[in-house]
């Protein structure tokens, strides 16, 4: 999400003839796009700001701006606390950046943090950074109003709003024409994507079909789904199109009914497992990944065991695993106690990580002998003689280069694995 936002900021500034550089020693303005989801993300930014003071002593005209969720959360307070920050811009105010940069004088500080009910940056064609020229993100909606009890996002990114489907399809077509072969449609809760116009209503399953029809050679992925809203209609559309990747990220957060209720997730473990069963029914080859939080307020050993049990039942292919971090202004901060001691949170997190490591390895071992179509993304980090790509399930596969090039599709048979990577050989020479 933040990466996609940085690409929008790049486009807004390039249009006004600002040049973008990755060389920090050449920059007159340093823009830091920030996340506020966990405290350690914010602490990293504060450390980076301290480090940048040395650079500012040598290049005194350099101005630093903080963009994104941390800017939105802290507003002016951030500039008071961090004396080397000159401007802050919230996630809905990026269009103001050129004007701010043009008018900011030495010693002055500017802030734009108004949230909007309508801004989707729909008309902006993002500048693609760090691109492999093959895979790209397309933002399809902004904001979130689910108000999970632990989460700061509804306060930093504002209300949910969807982007005109035609602009999304056009962006996908342009990327395909430029040689891209995979797009990931992004939103905090893509299942509630909805666009109403004179021509009718486009929901997320219809949007997926529209993008999938751009070309059978363009792979389509999406993130993130909320389990309460994952519909059979979407699964049917995924089954219908070969180029919609068979991979679903379905954050569970906890396996305990009591925790899920306290988290305001609005589903039960039974509901979640029913959605998993539906995925397995419509999409037998689909991989499933998740997010989980260890040590949310009042979590008992029994609740934690329920999470481990959920992991054993679902057998995720990958999981993003976090220790609960209390965030200001959330429901949890106002009404609940962060009462699980840090060492207990750490131990529970480590137990989840260890279990998930075993499951991922066992899942990968079952892949040995299977053959997959792989979209080649680049040269392996380990050896120039090898390429890497992903299968539809989003698993990374490494194989000998042969005469192949990034951007091509090839068939690969899996011969070995680790818990993170599959290793294989090309079968269609
Ligand atoms: N503490 C820990 N993890 C969190 N997440 C969101 N808020 C918090 C928090 N306060 C995790 C959730 C979410 C992912 C993006 O970040 O698992 O799905
Ligand atoms: Fe946060 Fe919940 Fe919205 Fe995800 S769905 S961004 S966890 S409030």
Domain CATH number, residue 149: 3.30.750.210
Residue 201 included in any domain:
yes
Q: How far apart are CA 210 and CA 208, in angstroms?
A: 5
145 lines ligand 2 (CB under 6 A): no
Together in a domain, 87 and 139:
no
Together in a domain, 287 and 331:
yes
Q: How far apart are CA 172 and CA 194, in angstroms?
A: 18
Domain CATH number, residue 285: 3.30.750.200
Residue 20 included in any domain:
yes
Together in a domain, 145 and 229:
yes
Domain boundary among 366, 383, 415: 366
Q: How far apart are CA 319 and CA 335, in angstroms?
A: 28
Domain CATH number, residue 79: 3.40.50.12160
Together in a domain, 352 and 389:
no
Counting ligands in written order, the one closest to the CA of 253 is: 1
Q: How many CB atoms lie within 10 A of CB 180?
A: 20
Together in a domain, 284 and 240:
no
Distance of CA 166 from the midpoint of ligand 2 (Å): 26
Q: How far apart are CA 166 and CA 148, in angstroms?
A: 31
Torsion angle defined by CA atoms of residues 171, 174, 179 and 184, in that order, rounded to the nearest 10 degrees: 10
Residue 124 included in any domain:
no
pLDDT in tens, the chain (429 residues): 788 999 999 999 999 999 999 899 999 999 999 999 999 999 999 999 999 999 999 999 999 999 999 999 999 899 999 999 999 999 999 999 999 999 888 788 999 999 999 999 999 989 988 789 999 999 999 999 999 999 999 999 999 999 999 999 999 999 999 999 999 999 999 999 999 999 899 999 999 999 999 999 999 999 999 999 999 999 999 999 999 999 999 999 999 999 999 999 999 999 999 999 999 999 999 999 999 999 999 999 999 999 999 999 999 999 999 999 999 999 999 999 999 999 999 999 999 999 999 999 999 999 999 999 999 999 998 888 999 999 999 999 999 998 999 999 999 999 999 989 999 999 976
Q: Cα 412 from chain centroid?
A: 27
Which string of b and e fits 210-230 if b means at least 16 CB within 10 Å? bbbebeeebbbbbbbbbbbbb
Distance of CA 20 from the midpoint of ligand 1 (Å): 31
Output the six-digit token pair for 310.
Answer: 């959920």
For the whole model, what pTM was predicted? 0.95
pLDDT of residue 382: 87
pLDDT of residue 40: 94
Residue 269 included in any domain:
no
pLDDT of residue 141: 96
- Probe residue for ligand 2, chosen from 69, 189, 225, 324 as the CB with the greatest number of ligand atoms within 8 Å: 189
Range of the domain at 226: 131-245
pLDDT of residue 131: 84
pLDDT of residue 380: 93
Residue 256 included in any domain:
no
Helix spans in 182-340 (H): 204-212, 232-240, 257-262, 269-282, 301-314, 331-335
Domain boundary among 200, 225, 245: 245
251 lines ligand 1 (CB under 6 A): yes
pLDDT of residue 28: 94
Quick check: bond before 19 cis, omega within 30?
no
- Classify 323 as helix, strand or coil: strand
Domain boundary among 245, 260, 288: 245
pLDDT of residue 307: 98
Output the six-digit token pair for 255.
Answer: 């396996």
Distance of CA 142 from the midpoint of ligand 2 (Å): 12
Together in a domain, 354 and 419:
no
* Strand residues in 4-68 grouped as ranges (E): 29-34, 63-68
| CA dihedral over 51, 53, 58, 60, signed as positive or negative | positive
Together in a domain, 390 and 406:
yes
Kindly tell me the number of DSSP H helices and DSSP E strands found in the chain: 14, 19
pLDDT of residue 429: 60
One DSSP character per residue, 407-421 reads T-EEEEEEEEE-SS-
- Classify 17 as helix, strand or coil: coil
Together in a domain, 358 and 379:
no
Residue 271 included in any domain:
no
Calculate the alpha carbon distances from 43 to 31, 40, 49, 91, 295 in Å: 17, 5, 10, 19, 20
| CA nearest to 352, candidates 292, 303, 406 | 292
Together in a domain, 362 and 386:
no
| 3-class SS string, 337-363 | CCCCCHHHHHHHHHHHHHHHHHHHHHH
pLDDT of residue 228: 96
Residue 262 included in any domain:
no
Domain CATH number, residue 380: 2.40.50.140
Together in a domain, 145 and 238:
yes
Distance of CA 146 from the midpoint of ligand 1 (Å): 13
Together in a domain, 317 and 413:
no
The total domain count for the chain is: 4
Distance of CA 65 from the midpoint of ligand 2 (Å): 26
Together in a domain, 87 and 142:
no
Looking at the CA of residue 326, tell me the nearest atom of ligand 1.
10
Residue 157 included in any domain:
yes
């Amino acid at each position: 999400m933040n990466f996609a936002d940085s690409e929008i900021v790049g486009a807004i500034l390039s249009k006004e003839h600002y040049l973008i550089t990755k060389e920090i020693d050449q920059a007159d303005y340093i823009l830091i796009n920030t996340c506020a989801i966990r405290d350690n993300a914010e602490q990293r930014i504060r450390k980076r700001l301290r480090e940048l003071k040395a650079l500012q002593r040598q290049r005194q005209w350099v101005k630093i701006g903080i963009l994104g969720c941390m800017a939105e959360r802290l507003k002016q307070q951030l500039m008071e606390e961090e004396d080397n920050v000159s401007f802050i811009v919230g996630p809905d105010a990026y269009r103001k950046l050129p004007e701010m940069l043009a008018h900011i004088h030495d010693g002055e500080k500017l802030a734009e943090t108004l949230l909007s009910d309508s801004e989707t940056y729909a008309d902006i064609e993002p500048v693609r950074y760090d691109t492999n020229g093959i895979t790209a993100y397309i933002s399809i909606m902004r904001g979130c109003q689910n108000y999970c009890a632990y989460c700061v996002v509804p306060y930093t990114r504002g209300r949910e709003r969807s982007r005109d489907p035609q602009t999304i399809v056009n962006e996908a077509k342009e990327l395909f024409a430029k040689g891209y072969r995979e797009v990931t449609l992004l939103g905090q809760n893509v299942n509630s994507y909805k666009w109403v116009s004179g021509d009718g209503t486009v929901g997320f399953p219809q949007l997926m079909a529209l993008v999938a029809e751009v070309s059978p050679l363009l792979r389509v992925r999406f993130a993130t789904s909320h389990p309460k809203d994952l519909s059979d209609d979407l699964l049917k559309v995924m089954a219908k199109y070969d180029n919609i990747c068979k991979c679903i990220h379905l954050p569970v957060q906890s396996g305990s009914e009591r925790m899920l209720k306290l988290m305001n997730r609005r589903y039960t473990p039974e509901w979640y497992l029913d959605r998993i069963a539906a995925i397995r029914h419509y999409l037998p080859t689909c991989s499933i990944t998740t997010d989980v939080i260890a040590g949310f307020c009042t979590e008992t050993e029994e609740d934690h065991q329920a999470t481990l049990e959920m992991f054993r039942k679902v057998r995720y292919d990958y999981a993003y695993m976090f220790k609960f971090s209390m965030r200001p202004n959330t429901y949890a901060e106002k009404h609940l106690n962060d009462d699980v001691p840090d060492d207990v949170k750490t131990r529970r997190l480590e137990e989840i990580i260890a279990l998930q490591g075993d499951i991922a390895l066992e899942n990968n071992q079952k892949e040995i002998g299977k053959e997959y179509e792989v979209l080649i993304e680049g040269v392996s980090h380990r050896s120039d003689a090898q390429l890497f790509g992903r299968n539809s399930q989003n698993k990374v596969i490494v194989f000998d280069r042969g005469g192949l090039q990034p951007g091509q599709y090839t068939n690969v048979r899996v011969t070995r694995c680790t818990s993170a990577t599959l290793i294989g050989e090309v079968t269609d020479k």
